[in-house]
C-alpha cells in the first residue's frame, strides 16, 4: 500500500508544463483576432507561425493526455502544497520587485533603490547585519546614481534625493 | 602615398602610440558592454560632443576601441551570471553559464576572451586584405537570401531543446509570436499590441533579454542561495592562474574553430542590418551541426562558447567595411562614426582610401591594436572576475534586478519597458520551472521580426508569389546548405552508429 502511495507521489505532475502552451494558444488566438480584418501583409507571417504553434501544442497536449491516461503522469493542482510553496522568501522578493516598479516613479530612482536593496537583502537572509546592509544599499544606489544619471545622463524617475543632489552639485 | 608593407607597419606603430586612448576606452567598453541596455552606440552618442572636440583620428580610435571591447564585455555577465549584456551575446550563456556553474568560470572567461581576441584579430586582417570584395556581399544579399540566413538562426531552436524537442519548439514559436507584436511593415496595422502604444514598434529587445535571462535567473538563484554548489565554491576559491592558461591552451588548440566561426561573423557583419545576434546564433548552430559531440552542447561545451564569441567579434570588422568602402553604415555604431567623420570633413566611401588612406586603413589597424592590447589588459582579469560567482545571492539578486531594470529603461526611456522586462522575467521564470528553454523564446523574439520583414519584402516584390523564395541562385545555394546542415549531421551520426554496430 505504502509502495503504491510512493509511486503515485513520484509520478510527474504535468499541470505546470501546460502553462506555456496555454499562454501561447491564448496569445495567438488574441493575435489572430487583432489581424482578422487586416491586409494580407499583416496576416501572412502570423498565420504561418501561429498555425504551426497550434499544431505543436495540440501534439503536446495529446502526448500529455496519453501519459495521464496510461498512469505515467498526473495532472492536478495540489492545494495542500500550494500555500506552503507560496510562503517563501522568493514570493516575498517578487512582491518587493513589483513594489519597486510601482514606487520608483513616485519616490525617484535613488530612494526607491535604497529601499528595495535594503528590504530585499534583509528579507533574503532573515534580517542579519542590518547596519551593514543599510550602508551597502546606500553605496550601491549611489553607484547607480553616479553611473546611470550623472555619467550616462539617463532620465530615470527623479525624486527628493535627486533634487537635493542636483541642487548640491549646482 | 604608396600602400605597401612599410605603410602598414608605420600605421601599426602609429596606432599603438595611441594606447592612452585605447586602454581607457577598452575599460569603458567593458562596463557599457556588460550592463544590459547600454551599448557602444549609445555611449558614443552620449560622448559625441567629446569626439567632436578630439582630432578625427583620436576620435575614431576611441570609438573603435569602445566598440570592440563592448562586444567582448557583453559576454562576461553572460558567462558568470547568465545575463547577456547585449543581444549579440545571447548565445554565449548557452554553454558559458553551465561552465561557470560547474566552477569553471575563470576558464570560461579565458576561453571567451581568447576566442573573441583571436576572432577579432583574424577578421580585421582579412577585412584589410579583402575589403573591396567583401563590401560587395551586401549587394548580393537580398531579402530572399536573408530569409534563408534567418532560418539558419531559427533552426537553432530545435538544437537548444535536445532534451525535449516538442517543448523547445513550443518555446521557440511562442517567441516568434511575441516577436510578431507591433505594426505590420507595409500598412502599419497594429497587431497584438494589447492597446499599448509602446509596442507599435515591436517588442523592444533589451527588456526581453533582461527579463528572460537576468530577472528570471535572479528569482531562480534565490532558491539555492548561491550560484555554485558547496564543492564548486571551494574549486573557484582555489583556482590559480593555471586555470586561465588552461583556457588559453584549450582555445588555441581549437584555432580552426575560432577561425571559421569568426568568418561567419565577418560575412554576416558586412550585410547591413544583420548584426551580431544573428551571427552568433548562426555560428552556434553551425558549430553544433558539424560537431562530433553535438549532445554535449548546452552543458558547458568549449566549442559552444567559442563559436558565438568568435562570431560576434568577427561582426565588428564586418560592419565597418560597407561604411569605409561604400559609405553605407552597416550598423548603429558605424552610422555614428559616419556622423563624426562627416562633421570633421572626412569623406566616407571610395574617396576615403584615395584622399586619407591613413584614416581608411587606420580604422582597421586601430581595431587590430585594440584586440592586441585587450589580450594584455583583459585576459589577466579573468581570475578576479570569476569571483563574482562566489558572491551570495542575498546581495546579487537585488543588484541584478535593480540594475538590469534600469538597463531595460535606458534605450527608449519608457517606464513601460521596465514593466515589460518584469513581465518577461515572470514568463522566463515559469518557463525555467516547467522545463522550457528561455533561449528558444529569445531566439524567436529576436529573429522573428527580422524573418517577417525579409519574407514580406520578398513576397511583396513578387506580388505574393511564394516561389520567389527559390528564385535566386545564391538563395538556392543557401537553401541547400541549410538543409544539408540540418540533415547531414544526424544522417552521418546514424551511419557512424550503424558501422560501429
Q: Which residues, in sequence order, are CB contacts of B287 under 8 Å at separation 6+?
A: B257, B261, B297, B303, B304, B306, B307
The answer to whether B455 contacts chain A (CB < 8 Å) is yes
Q: How far is A167 from chain B (nearest CA, A)?
A: 23
Q: Please list, in sequence order, all residues whose beta carbon lies within 8 angstroms of the beta carbon of residue B342, skipping any fewer than 6 positions away.
A: B348
CB contact under 8 A, A44 and B459: yes
Q: Does B487 touch chain A (CB under 8 A)?
A: no
What ipTM did this prediction achieve?
0.90
Kindly list the averaged pLDDT for each block of 10 residues, start to end, along chain A of length 170. Answer: 52 87 95 90 89 94 91 78 71 92 92 94 84 92 88 83 79
Q: Domain boundaries in chain B?
A: 5-500
Low-confidence ranges of chain B (pLDDT < 50): none
**Cβ contact (<8 Å) for B413 and A31?**
no
Residues of A in Cβ contact (< 8 Å) with B173: 24, 49, 52-53, 56
- Please tell me the predicted confidence (pLDDT) of residue B374: 92
Question: Chain A residue closest to B460 (CA)?
Answer: A41
pLDDT of residue A121: 92
**Record: contact B406-A154, CB cut-off 8 A:** yes
Find, among B109, B106, B114, the residue nearest to B262 by Cα: B114
Q: Does B395 touch chain A (CB under 8 A)?
A: yes
**A17, A63, A154 ranked by CB distance to B435: nearest:** A17
Q: What residues of chain B, 29 to 88, have a C-beta less than 8 Å from chain A?
A: 38, 42-43, 46
Kindly state the cell numbers that stand for B192.
Answer: 497584438
Tell me what pLDDT residue A9 has.
57
Q: What pLDDT digit, counting tens, does each position of B403-450 carry? A: 889 888 888 889 999 999 999 999 999 998 898 988 889 888 988 888
Which residue is associated with the grid cell 495540489? A78
Buried b (16+ CB within 10 A) or exposed e, A103-123: bbeebbbbbbbbbbbbbbbbb
- Residue B465 contacts A, CB cutoff 8 Å: no
The shortest CB-CB distance from A30 to any of B174, B184, B192 is to: B192
Predicted pLDDT at A1: 44
Strand partners, A74: A13
CA distance B287 to B178: 27
Residue A90 has its nearest CB partner, among B177, B223, B452, at B223
Closest CA to B317 of B455, B128, B444: B128
Search chain A and give the residue with CA nearest B395: A121
Cα–Cα dist B284/B46, whole Å? 33
Q: Does B166 touch chain A (CB under 8 A)?
A: yes
Closest residue to B170, CB basis, from A20, A34, A90: A20
User: Which residues are CB-contacts of B212 (< 8 A; sequence separation ≥ 6)?
Assistant: B424, B425, B427, B428, B431, B438, B441, B442, B445
Query: Would you call A45 and B409 a contact, using CB atoms and an 8 Å cutoff?
Result: no
Residues on chain A touching B419 (C-beta within 8 angstroms) = 101
Nearest CA in chain B to A142: B403
Amino acid at each position: 500500500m505504502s509502495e503504491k502511495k510512493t509511486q503515485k507521489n513520484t509520478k510527474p505532475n504535468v499541470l505546470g508544463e501546460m502553462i506555456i502552451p496555454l499562454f501561447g494558444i491564448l496569445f495567438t488566438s488574441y493575435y489572430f483576432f487583432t489581424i482578422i480584418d487586416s491586409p494580407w501583409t499583416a496576416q501572412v507571417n502570423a498565420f504561418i507561425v501561429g498555425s504551426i504553434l497550434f499544431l505543436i501544442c495540440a501534439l503536446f497536449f495529446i502526448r500529455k493526455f496519453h501519459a495521464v491516461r496510461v498512469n505515467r503522469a498526473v495532472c492536478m493542482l495540489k492545494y495542500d502544497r500550494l500555500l506552503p510553496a507560496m510562503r517563501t522568501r522568493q514570493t516575498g522578493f517578487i512582491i518587493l520587485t513589483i513594489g519597486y516598479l510601482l514606487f520608483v516613479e513616485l519616490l525617484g530612482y535613488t530612494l526607491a533603490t535604497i529601499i528595495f536593496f535594503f528590504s530585499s537583502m534583509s528579507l533574503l537572509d532573515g534580517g542579519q547585519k542590518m547596519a551593514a546592509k543599510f550602508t551597502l544599499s546606500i553605496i550601491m544606489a549611489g553607484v547607480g546614481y553616479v553611473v546611470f544619471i550623472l555619467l550616462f545622463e539617463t532620465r530615470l524617475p527623479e525624486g527628493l534625493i535627486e533634487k537635493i543632489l542636483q541642487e548640491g552639485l549646482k | 602615398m604608396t600602400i605597401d608593407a612599410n605603410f602598414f607597419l608605420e600605421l601599426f606603430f602609429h596606432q599603438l602610440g595611441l594606447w592612452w586612448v585605447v586602454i581607457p576606452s577598452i575599460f569603458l567598453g567593458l562596463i557599457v558592454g556588460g550592463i544590459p541596455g547600454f551599448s557602444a552606440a549609445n555611449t558614443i552618442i552620449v560622448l559625441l560632443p567629446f569626439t567632436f572636440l578630439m582630432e578625427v583620428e583620436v576620435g575614431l580610435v576611441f570609438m573603435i576601441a569602445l566598440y570592440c571591447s563592448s562586444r567582448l564585455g557583453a559576454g562576461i555577465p553572460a558567462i558568470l551570471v547568465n545575463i547577456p549584456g547585449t543581444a549579440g551575446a545571447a548565445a554565449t550563456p548557452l554553454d558559458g553559464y553551465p561552465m561557470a556553474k560547474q566552477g569553471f568560470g575563470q576558464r570560461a572567461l579565458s576561453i571567451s576572451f581568447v576566442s573573441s581576441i583571436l576572432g577579432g584579430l583574424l577578421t580585421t586582417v582579412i577585412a584589410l586584405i579583402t575589403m573591396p570584395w567583401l563590401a560587395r556581399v551586401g549587394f548580393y544579399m537580398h531579402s530572399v537570401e536573408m530569409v534563408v540566413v534567418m532560418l539558419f538562426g531559427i533552426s537553432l531552436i530545435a538544437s537548444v531543446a535536445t532534451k525535449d524537442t516538442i517543448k523547445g519548439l513550443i518555446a521557440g514559436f511562442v517567441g516568434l509570436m511575441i516577436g510578431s507584436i507591433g505594426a505590420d511593415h507595409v500598412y502599419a496595422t497594429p497587431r497584438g499590441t494589447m492597446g499599448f502604444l509602446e509596442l507599435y514598434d515591436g517588442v523592444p529587445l533589451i527588456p526581453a533579454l533582461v527579463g528572460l535571462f537576468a530577472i528570471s535567473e535572479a528569482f531562480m538563484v534565490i532558491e539555492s542561495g548561491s550560484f555554485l554548489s558547496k564543492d564548486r565554491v571551494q574549486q573557484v576559491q582555489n583556482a590559480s592562474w593555471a586555470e586561465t592558461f588552461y583556457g588559453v591552451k584549450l582555445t588555441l588548440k581549437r584555432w580552426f574553430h575560432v577561425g571559421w566561426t569568426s568568418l561567419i561573423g565577418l560575412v554576416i557583419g558586412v550585410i547591413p542590418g544583420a548584426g551580431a545576434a544573428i551571427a552568433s546564433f548562426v555560428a552556434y548552430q553551425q558549430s553544433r551541426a558539424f560537431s562530433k559531440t553535438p549532445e554535449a552542447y548546452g552543458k558547458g561545451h568549449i566549442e559552444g562558447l567559442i563559436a558565438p564569441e568568435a562570431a560576434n567579434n568577427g561582426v565588428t570588422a564586418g560592419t565597418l567595411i560597407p561604411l569605409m568602402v561604400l559609405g553605407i553604415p552597416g550598423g548603429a555604431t558605424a552610422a555614428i562614426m559616419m556622423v563624426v567623420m562627416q562633421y570633421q570633413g572626412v569623406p566616407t566611401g571610395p574617396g576615403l582610401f584615395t584622399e586619407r588612406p591613413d584614416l581608411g586603413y587606420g580604422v582597421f589597424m586601430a581595431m587590430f591594436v585594440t584586440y592586441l592590447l585587450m589580450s594584455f589588459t583583459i585576459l589577466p582579469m579573468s581570475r578576479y572576475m570569476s569571483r563574482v560567482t562566489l558572491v551570495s545571492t542575498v546581495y546579487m539578486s537585488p543588484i541584478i534586478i535593480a540594475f538590469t531594470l534600469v538597463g531595460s529603461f535606458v534605450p527608449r526611456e519608457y517606464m513601460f519597458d521596465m514593466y515589460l522586462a518584469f513581465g518577461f522575467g515572470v514568463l522566463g521564470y515559469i518557463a525555467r520551472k516547467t522545463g522550457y528553454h528561455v533561449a528558444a523564446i529569445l531566439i524567436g523574439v529576436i529573429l522573428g521580426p527580422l524573418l517577417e520583414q525579409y519574407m514580406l519584402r520578398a513576397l511583396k516584390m513578387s506580388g505574393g508569389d511564394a516561389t520567389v523564395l527559390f528564385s535566386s541562385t545564391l538563395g538556392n545555394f543557401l537553401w541547400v546548405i541549410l538543409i544539408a546542415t540540418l540533415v547531414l549531421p544526424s544522417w552521418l551520426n546514424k551511419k557512424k552508429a550503424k558501422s560501429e554496430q
